[in-house]
Amino acid sequence: MQRDLVERARRGETEAFDALARLVSGRLFAVAYRILRDHYLAEDAVQQTLITIWNELPRLREPDRFDAWTYRLIVRSSVAEARRERRGGTSIQLLPEDADVSPAPDQYRAVADRDQLERGFRRLTPEQRAILVLQHYAGQSLAEIADVLGIPVGTAGSRLHYATRALRAALEADGRNVAAEGRLA
């Protein structure tokens, strides 16, 4: 079904492209959000990617490579968006007033772990986030990551190794900061 949509969209059928965009936009947003850590920036990256898909789709030689190609495009758009934005502030999203935001007692540890992981992930470069997202969220193999990023497999493995080390170092530094704050209190 997707191959048929890709073929029809390549020929300029707007209905097919619309269906294709609806089919992939959730996956594109999920990858962009995990790289950018900001809802609005992720939306911008997805919009840019969909524009690029529309413009470049007629030149896609292998319709079966559509998924890998879209991963490459969303990673590039996300990294470009992160470079453009380079604002060090935290993104805060308001919750509705009637939302129950207090976790159950047994969920406090999970929330703390997620918080620590988020802080560590924000310390990584967009390129490091991208390779970790492709590996751990998208479930891509090293060969697929190399294809998406347009790099040799060995380079993908090396970048994944260094990104993992950087995340581990960021988490350890965060743990030391929290421990130091606890001693001061």
Kindly report, residue by residue over 15-73, the tens digit of the pLDDT: 999 999 999 999 999 999 999 999 999 999 999 999 999 999 999 989 999 999 999 99
Q: pTM of this prediction?
A: 0.74
Neighbour tally for 81: CB within 10 Å? 23
Alpha helical stretches, state H, the chain? 2-10, 14-36, 39-56, 66-85, 108-122, 126-132, 142-149, 153-184
105-185 has CATH 1.10.10.10 classification: yes
Count of all residues that appear for the chain in the document: 185
Handedness of CA 23, 27, 30, 33 (dihedral sign): negative
Classify 18 in phi/psi space as left (phi over 0), alpha (psi -120 to 50) or beta: alpha
CATH class label, 1-85: mainly alpha
The reply to whether 1-85 and 105-185 are identical in fold is: no
Rounded CA-CA distance 16/20 in Å is: 6
Q: How far apart are CA 35 and CA 41, in angstroms?
A: 10
Domain boundaries, the chain: 1-85, 105-185
Residue-wise pLDDT tens digits, 96-151: 554 444 555 556 667 777 788 888 888 899 999 999 999 998 899 999 999 988 89
DSSP labels, 22-76: HHHHHHHHHHHHHHH--HHHHHHHHHHHHHHHHHHGGG-S-GGGHHHHHHHHHHH
